Amino acid sequence: MKNTILILLVSLIAFTACSKENNDTDNELSRVVFDPGHLKFISNSLNPKKKTMSALYGNEKALESLSKENQAPEAGSVMKLVTWKYHDNPQYIGGTITGELVSIETVQADKAGNVSYDLKNNQSRTTLSNTKERIQYFMSYRPVSRP
């Protein structure tokens, strides 16, 4: 019993020590790369008024839906639109490059074809956006053209 308590205590200390360390590095400025999981890059866009660039990722179903220029995503589609602020490239006059991450929007169509929309951004209060409009906007993307 005494041993168990000791082990628990030690592991508790070990865990808190670890998580504290993680917190520190989490808050440090770093060069981050977005991990889209199983989704693939489909297309991107640049908004000169908002000074943002976005990358659209999706699964196979989403790619199909956009290739066919559907009005709504097919059942099983998952799409993520990742938006970044852009800046003049600090290393090259005449170029711009993505900087701060602004938001991640997700559009999903479940098996029955019900479409949902979700927005995550860096503001504490999420501004209510027009779901229908945003889904339509997602559907305006076409897969990039290349060999």
Partner 1 sequence: METVKKKRNPIAILFLAILGVFGGLQLFSKPLEGKPVTGKIEAPREVITILENSCFSCHSNQQNLSWYDQIAPVSWAVNKDIKRAREVLNFSEWEKLSPAEHQGKMYAVLNMMQSGKMPLHEYTLLHPSAKITAKDIETIKNYTFSLSSANTSTQKKTETPQNSSIVPIPASAKFPVSPNGIRYTDDFKNWKVISMSTLFDNSIRVIYGNDIAVKAVETEDFHPWPDGSIVVKSVWKQQELSDGEIRPGKFINAQFMVKDSKQYRDTEGWGFAKFSGDDLHPTGKTASFAKESCIACHRQLAEKTGYLFDVPMKVNTQRLIQNLQKK
Q: Which residues bind partner 1 (CB under 8 A)?
A: 23, 25-36, 40-41, 43-49, 53, 55, 63, 67, 84, 86-87, 89-101, 103-104, 120-122, 141-147
Q: 């997700």: which residue's tokens? A: 106
Pairwise CA distance, residues 11 & 18, whole Å = 10
Buried b (16+ CB within 10 A) or exposed e, 121-136: eeeeeeeeeeeeebbe
**Residue 43 CB, nearest approach to partner 1 (Å):** 6
The residues that bridge with 8 in the sheet, in sequence order, are none
Q: At 128, phi and psi to the nearest 5?
A: -70, 120
The nearer residue to partner 1, 76 or 99, going by C-beta atoms, is 99
For the four alpha carbons of 106, 144, 93 and 50, in that order, the dihedral sign comes to: negative
The nearer residue to partner 1, 10 or 100, going by C-beta atoms, is 100
**Residue 48 CB, nearest approach to partner 1 (Å):** 6
Task: Kindly state the tokens that stand for 50.
Answer: 């908002």
The nearer residue to partner 1, 73 or 80, going by C-beta atoms, is 80
The nearer residue to partner 1, 11 or 118, going by C-beta atoms, is 118
Task: Kindly state the tokens that stand for 122.
Answer: 């860096």
**Residue 19 CB, nearest approach to partner 1 (Å):** 13
**Residue 31 CB, nearest approach to partner 1 (Å):** 4
